[in-house]
Structure 1
Amino acid sequence: MSTAMLKEQVQAVLEREPALLPSAVAAELQVSEAQVVFALPKAMAVRVDGSFCEQLLTELAGWGPVTTIVHSCASIFEVKAPFPKGKNARGYYNLMGREGQLHGHLRIDLVTDIALVSKPFMGSESHYLGFFTEQGESIFKVYLGRDEKRQLFPEQLEKFAQLKTQYGE
């Protein structure tokens, strides 16, 4: 399927059901989630080369509370905490979270594309960084955090907008 045709199909699905997540659109169109994300209008999604993965993860560690989401076998795991610092060792980017934070070992060499996505979710403004494999599969997503009143943190919005400007050129 051509890129132009996919963009048209994604737009048609979102016009019909604007609340659908890219993963649901991908399932409906039988394409990868990354293909859907990168078929969104440029105002909604900016593509970043995966070679910037470590740089972005390092930056995220200073943003404060965020929501990290991992989809696995139709299940969704969420961690609401500051994204942890990490370091490379033994072929992995090792997340060194404190108690209550995310821990893990990432194969950032498998991240070929990163998406900076701005798409409403459940009627609320929403922004996330999505990390994708060469096959277009989502490895994980990091959503901007919210305060106790469910409002996005203004400083994170500003940093996210800067990233979109920096990489969207």
Structure 2
Amino acid sequence: MASIIFYILGFTTLAATAMCITRRNPVHAVVYLVNALFALALMFYLLGAPLVAAWEVIIYAGAIMVLFLFIIMMFELSPDSPETQGPGWRRWGPVVLLSLVILGCTLALLGLEADPQGVPAFWVSPREFGAALFDRYALGVQVISFQLLYAAVGAYYLGKGALRRRSREDAS
């Protein structure tokens, strides 16, 4: 049962991500991305990492997506051409379908058999997860941390250049 739910969630994540990158309306793209992040969080939960699943929902699907929506509204981004007009089901049907699949998988995960302590047999304790992450996969964690550092430095550099250009334009 768990492997079937995993594949359903994997397909849902791929479908929601594909819908996200093909939408012209940025708000619709963010809605599909939130859907994909919820499906991914359920996959982490299913793989025995409930803490990572909670972080996925709280940080990415919550805080980061609110930031994306704030930026979209601040820059007043809108699609160049209107999306297909028609009945509401053509616009909201896919997101409702994906949301129902995620809700169904969540309910199925809650109904899975648990051992006598109440914890499903496929869970891993945070201690075991941390030991695996920083013991077996320490190199991967370091590589990703350096990539995030490079991205932050690059964003600072690009932002600083735009600030200089803007101040030159204001001076002339």
Structure with more of its chain in helix, by fraction? 2
Give the TM bin, normalised by the shorter chain: under 0.3
Structure with more of its chain in strand, by fraction? 1
Structure ranking higher on relative contact order (CA contacts 8 Å, 6+ apart): 2
Q: TM-score, normalised by structure 1?
A: 0.21
Q: TM-score, normalised by structure 2?
A: 0.21
